[in-house]
Amino acid sequence: MSTVDINQLLNQMRHMAAQADKKPSDILQGDSQGIAFGNVLKDSINAVNDVQKGASGMATKFELGDPSVDLTDVMVELQKASVSFEAMKQVRNKLLNAYKDVMSMQV
């Protein structure tokens, strides 16, 4: 089962925030590789899915009476899954709003 490292997640968010603060010309000149938005989004969705699967697996083990699984660990994993899903929904909502704004612009 994979667990989410909070420090790693925060570092990724800081890196993405720093990339967002750059001017488009800086990004094109300074980073020949670039970061595909679709890949970042796909990886994020997969990470949320993995967290949810892990939490569900722990809950199932606890329900079946596995002595190696503690109730507090199950509750923490379920909360992590809930928070990550909520964050993903908020990102989706922001993306949809941005898309609607762009589509309503007159050319």
> What single DSSP character describes residue 64?
T
Asked if pLDDT for residue 56 goes beyond 70, the answer is yes
Residue 1 — very low, low, confident or very high, per pLDDT cuts 50/70/90? very low
- Residue type (1 letter), 33: Q
> What single DSSP character describes residue 67?
T
Question: What is the sign of the dihedral through the CA atoms of 73, 74, 75 and 77?
Answer: positive
| Residue 3: per-residue pLDDT | 57
